[in-house]
Amino acid sequence: MSAGFDWVPDPGRGEWLRLMEAEPLGSVLSVVPSGFEAYARLFHPVERDRPRATKTWQGLDQAMYFADVPDLEAALETERATWAQAAASFGTTMHAQAQYARLVRADYGAVDGTIAPDGWRYSDTTEGRLDTASLAAAAAVLARHTSTPDTGIAAIWEGWGGLVSSAGAARLVLLPSDAWPAPDTDEDTRRVTIPLLRDRLAAALRQRLTGAHVSLTARFRGAHHDPAPGTGVLAAEIAAGPRFALHGNSGRSYFLFEAGAHDFADPTWPARAPWVEEPLWAHSPSILWPEDHAWVLATEIDFDSTLVAGTTALIRELIRTPGLEVLPLRTDADLTWDGDAINRPQ
């Protein structure tokens, strides 16, 4: 493995990606560079749930259903789902240029909690971050398609809250089950309202937080009225150091760290990464490449999928890898919000 995610103060290590700036921002070749044999899109998994007793949310008043349920965790059947499963639930078509909102027949910004005709309730996707399990599965494949699986660069977007300073940082605290807040009752209607965090229960279950829930209380890191570099997760030297900037003034600047594919194939990598404070919500690299430049994996900060450029053999293996949802992608694919013409409303 690499030398412990050492900080790279030389932005020149990323100069070979500069040709992406010639492409329209948001296009495939502005996220991963041109010149590779093949390209693919790795779709970020979502969560879905339904009541164990009824097997469907259809026809249920969600608040009243839980009014007399003492154990919300036991009452919900929760699982990780693919975009293809979401498409099957909603009767839409999964394809390489699919947009999640179109798949679940929802308006943009109103996706979370959408209930399908088959009874499943689907969560929203995760933008700008590939979950640890998916990254580990992909990295194991990537390591087999480079001559330098132990060396390379992980580029971390500078804009994550709390990374450079304490500004915008909040900490969610784990509480025992018996400390979980009880449902609220409206004094006028006597209707029971389940805490909003119920909708996030799926994420907690995925991480196997047995017997615990995430507290609604946010504790801000520090008490800085004018946060300065070095008051966040990164050491002051790194926070104030040079960054690799792409696409002009688009806000896409990155801290660079030494890292190889083998580092991320180990799912415990968040515990060693200097840009991670809480492993449960670790940010994956925005851009990852090996020293020999055999491939590039990139998660654009505004995308809910990750793009990969590499050899045809690499892309074929990723597509066949269990636990990943990957489709081959054309370099001229339209990944904008309206790019999903197949599922476009009439």
Q: Are 192 and 65 in contact (CB under 8 A)?
A: no
Rounded to 10 degrees, what is the CA torsion of 40, 288, 162, 210? 70
How many angstroms separate the first and last alpha carbons of the chain?
A: 52
**Contacts of residue 35, Cβ cutoff 8 Å, sequence gap at least 6:** none
How high is the pLDDT of residue 168? 52
How high is the pLDDT of residue 227? 63
> Which amino acid appears at position 151 of this protein?
T
How high is the pLDDT of residue 2? 52
Q: Are 88 and 325 in contact (CB under 8 A)?
A: no
How high is the pLDDT of residue 302? 94
Per-residue pLDDT of the chain (346 residues; tens, 9 = 90+): 555 799 999 999 999 999 999 999 999 999 999 999 999 999 999 999 999 999 999 998 877 777 777 787 888 999 999 999 999 999 999 999 999 999 999 998 899 999 999 999 999 999 999 999 999 999 999 999 999 999 999 999 999 988 997 665 554 444 444 444 444 444 443 333 333 333 444 344 333 333 333 333 333 334 444 466 678 899 999 999 999 999 999 999 999 999 999 999 999 999 999 999 988 889 999 999 999 999 999 999 999 999 999 999 999 999 999 999 999 999 999 999 999 999 999 8
The predicted model scores a pTM of 0.84
| Beta-strand runs (E) in 106-220 | 114-115, 121-122, 152-157, 171-176, 184-185, 192-193, 212-219
